[in-house]
């Protein structure tokens, strides 16, 4: 069973690095929770493959730094859609 978890952690790490993916996007792609993704790439991957863990960390740190921009864009789009629906 540990083998399966370790393999998933590596696959998650590779997916995140190859796609510059967020934890949320990886969770959706693999059909698991964000908490599971975070545990896999933070704890398991660090033990299994430290170099891949460092690459994943770089991507996730960039995503975290940009998080407030994406949130602002999403909010702007939400209110834009609400305004359009009221007019239509």
Domain ranges of the chain: 2-87
Q: Give the per-residue pLDDT at 36.
A: 97
**Does the pLDDT at position 31 exceed 80?**
yes
Predicted local distance difference test score (pLDDT) of residue 77 = 78
Residue 15 near residue 30 (C-beta atoms within 8 A): yes
pTM as predicted: 0.75
- 3-state SS class at 26: helix
**Residue scoring higher pLDDT (34 or 68):** 34
**In sequence order, which residues have a C-beta less than 8 Å from that of residue 80 and are 6 or more positions away?**
none
Q: What is the mean pLDDT of residues 12-20?
A: 97
The predicted pLDDT at position 71 comes to 64
Closest C-alpha to 12, from 1, 68, 31: 31
| Model confidence at 12: pLDDT above 70 | yes
């Amino acid at each position: 069973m540990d083998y399966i978890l370790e393999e998933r952690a590596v696959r998650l790490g590779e997916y995140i690095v190859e796609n510059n993916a967020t934890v949320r996007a990886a969770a959706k792609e693999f059909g698991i929770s964000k908490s599971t993704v975070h545990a896999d790439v933070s704890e398991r991957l660090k033990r299994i493959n430290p170099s891949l863990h460092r690459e994943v960390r770089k991507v996730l740190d960039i995503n975290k730094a940009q998080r407030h921009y994406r949130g602002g864009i999403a909010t702007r789009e939400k209110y834009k859609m609400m305004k359009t629906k009221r007019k239509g």
